Structure 1
Amino acid sequence: MKGVVRRVARLGAALLIGLALAGCASAPPAGAVRLDSTPRLAVVSAFAPELALLRTRLQQPASYSVNGVDFVTGTLEGKPVVLFLSGVSMTNAAMNTQLVLDRFAVSGIVFSGIAGGVNPALHIGDVTVPAQWGQYLEVLMARETAPGQYSPRPSRDAVFLPNFGMMYPGTVHVRSAAGGAERKFWFEVDPTMLATARNIASVELAVCDSARKCLDTRPKLVIGGNGVSGPAFVDNAAFREYTFNTFQANVLDMETAAVGMVAYANGVPYIAFRSLSDLAGGGQGENEMRTFMNIAADNAAKVLLAFLAAWK
């Protein structure tokens, strides 16, 4: 009998230790264990310069790390948030957006970062908040049937858009929390978030950076329209023109539509703030990203902060 009591005591002690470890952010047990129970907006950028300004404004920071990804909780403009870097590329964005949804109580996703300008009416430094995002480089590489002529393979359910040479973009197959499977091209941002963005008070956007690199035009905020994302950095004038004509896109990047697809699949609202760092090959001379990246990143972050201040 005493042996049984001792074994029960040891089991109880082991259970208490296990529970204590489960509450320890630095050493969570295997599996998708929530690291924080507070409902938060996930604020995500692709790489460090895009998140720099937001990190300086974060109050009451607390850090966690999962699979090599650093998450920092706290408040921005009085709103509970969790900040993290997705990494550049569609795969990184999808994978780490799902990771933050699994490990934190995410009430919405907000992306802040830079982008390539596609709409010729926009300028470097402008901040865009598209109403929807599409994966424009989910393509079929078509057979060339004659010099310069291509024939896409027939598909039962894919819908192909106008091609760029052998590349025929189409819809993606997605499953969601709502159930069932469907094909989609556009992943709409949350209408309430978009309405809040439309009501943002005037934001003073930067014209120059700390190194006195300055823009030729004063930046503006553009709400609505389309954005597209794909796994390629674009620096080609002809492809830029094709992207604008085919998708009526204001901007292109390498992450947002992947975030939008994950948000849609999980039934979580999202929105993205993207500032033009370059013209995706449409400018004179070499690509402008390295020159104006910091101005663009900070301008996107400033609009995001104004959005958070207005968000109910």
Structure 2
Amino acid sequence: MNRLTRRTFLNGFAALGLALANTLHGVAAVATSIPLTPASPKPLVAVLNAYRPEMDAMVKEFGLLEGGFAEQRVKGFRYYIGQVEGKDVVVFETGMSLVNAAMALQLAFERLPISHVLFAGVAGGTDPALRVGDVVIPEKWAYHCEAAYFNPTPDGKGWTKAEYFKQRYPNFGMIFPDEMEAIRADKEKFERVPFFPVDAGLIEVAKRAVEKLGPVISAKTGREITVSIGGAGVTGTVFLDNRDYRKFVHDTWGARCADMETTAYAHVCYTNEIPFLAVRALSDLAGGQEPGQENVIDANEGVSSVHAVKVLRAILREM
């Protein structure tokens, strides 16, 4: 972020002012002003979530209501600036799905001196070895819905693919996955990015944090959940609740979990060259439940959000 961009943002934030009685998801809160001036900008760790249950877990875990966090608003998005584990942070809910996720994060990058990005929230489990409540920290992220949809051939034995299309992945019926193109300052043109990487340094921090964390016990089931690091995650604009497609994303990308935002965050961080890491706790099995059983996200999104946020806090502590 250059000096002019930072100054423009900081001055703009100062002009917004702060209401003394703000509402944080329906709970009255008193916000205190934390001055942000061009002369003394503080690097901030952006701490993200996507929707209400995840934000609720952060509000409780981080003490947003009583912890002296300052609320700033941009384009309707609410950004809460304060401290967690001695680190200067900005906590915010991006909204669900790709565009909301990318927009909220890019707005923050253009207005705040953000040094790192951490996310905590829930996902559907696509790795058969994982159970509801378990936490996974993938080391890379892909889009599973970047694709072409083709007609079958007249004989029904194949697919009529566009001339431009080069198949790189197995297809799922008419759905032929493709790769996203991205650009950043060190690139002359858009290039294909099969996976958007998680920062290697943050992965090492996460490993140390998990070693020191000790057992994480589910408040719902009483069992010790697993916290694992590595592998891939996938993101798309669909709520995945289909056992066949679940197997497809696991087989095709090695996906351990599927969600609707994380690859967008990783993409924006890739272009802005900001270190990124996401913590996802499984709220459901993305269609892997027993036949006839409904998806269990509604029953588990709250407690799984708590699991993810506790692990994220341990990572912040270790940074």
Q: Same fold (TM over 0.5)?
A: yes
Other-structure match for 2:126: 118
Q: Which one of 300, 304, 307 corresponds to residue 315 of structure 2?
A: 307
Deviation at 1:252, TM superposition (A): 0.4
Other-structure match for 2:234: 228
- SS of match in other structure, 1:161: coil
Percent identical residues: 33
Deviation at 1:159, TM superposition (A): 5.5
> After the TM superposition, which of the residue ranges 120-129 and 136-145 deviates more from structure 2?
136-145
Instruction: Map 1:177-196; keep pairs closer than 5 Å.
Output: 177-180=185-188, 181-196=190-205
TM-score in terms of structure 1 length: 0.85
Residue 90 (str. 1) matches residue 94 (str. 2): no
Counterpart Cα distance in 1 of 2:107 and 2:196: 20
- SS of match in other structure, 2:16: coil
Residue 152 (str. 1) matches residue 158 (str. 2): no
**Per-residue displacement from partner, 1:112-131 (whole Å, max 9, x unpaired)?**
10000000000001100000
- SS of match in other structure, 1:137: coil
Other-structure match for 1:263: 269
Q: Where does the alignment leave 5 or more consecutive residues of structure 1 unmatched?
A: 1-17, 29-33
> Structure 1 pair 22/281, CA: closer, same or farther in 2 (3 Å)?
closer
Residue 67 (str. 1) matches residue 57 (str. 2): no
Counterpart Cα distance in 1 of 2:119 and 2:316: 12
Deviation at 1:22, TM superposition (A): 4.5
**Per-residue displacement from partner, 1:224-279 (whole Å, max 9, x unpaired)?**
11000000001111110111111111000000001111100111110000000000
Deviation at 1:206, TM superposition (A): 3.5
Other-structure match for 1:198: 207
Letter in 2 for 1:255: E
Other-structure match for 1:24: 14
Letter in 2 for 1:280: A
Other-structure match for 1:142: 150
Residue 105 (str. 1) matches residue 116 (str. 2): no
Counterpart Cα distance in 2 of 1:273 and 1:192: 15
Letter in 2 for 1:263: C
Deviation at 1:21, TM superposition (A): 7.0
Is contact 2:283-2:297 (8 Å) kept? yes
Is contact 2:218-2:307 (8 Å) kept? no
Counterpart Cα distance in 2 of 1:204 and 1:74: 28
Other-structure match for 1:54: 58
Other-structure match for 2:25: none
Counterpart Cα distance in 2 of 1:226 and 1:125: 18
- SS of match in other structure, 2:122: strand
Deviation at 1:142, TM superposition (A): 1.6
Other-structure match for 1:127: 135
Other-structure match for 1:15: none
The structure with the larger Rg is 1
Deviation at 1:288, TM superposition (A): 0.9
**Per-residue displacement from partner, 1:66-122 (whole Å, max 9, x unpaired)?**
000000000111111001111000111111111111111110111110000000000
Is contact 2:13-2:72 (8 Å) kept? no
Other-structure match for 2:218: 207
Q: Where does the alignment leave 5 or more consecutive residues of structure 2 unmatched?
A: 1-7, 19-34
Other-structure match for 1:7: none
Letter in 1 for 2:278: A
Other-structure match for 1:42: 46
Counterpart Cα distance in 2 of 1:49 and 1:248: 27
> Structure 1 pair 174/22, CA: closer, same or farther in 2 (3 Å)?
closer
Is contact 2:135-2:228 (8 Å) kept? yes
TM-score in terms of structure 2 length: 0.83
Counterpart Cα distance in 1 of 2:167 and 2:17: 46
Counterpart Cα distance in 2 of 1:84 and 1:21: 20
Counterpart Cα distance in 1 of 2:78 and 2:263: 22
> Over aligned residue pairs, what C-alpha RMSD do you find?
2.2
Counterpart Cα distance in 1 of 2:16 and 2:158: 57
> Structure 1 pair 298/148, CA: closer, same or farther in 2 (3 Å)?
farther
> Structure 1 pair 131/159, CA: closer, same or farther in 2 (3 Å)?
farther
Deviation at 1:54, TM superposition (A): 2.1
Counterpart Cα distance in 1 of 2:150 and 2:72: 45
Deviation at 1:150, TM superposition (A): 1.8
> Structure 1 pair 25/190, CA: closer, same or farther in 2 (3 Å)?
farther
> After the TM superposition, which of the residue ranges 194-203 and 227-236 deviates more from structure 2?
194-203
Counterpart Cα distance in 2 of 1:263 and 1:21: 24
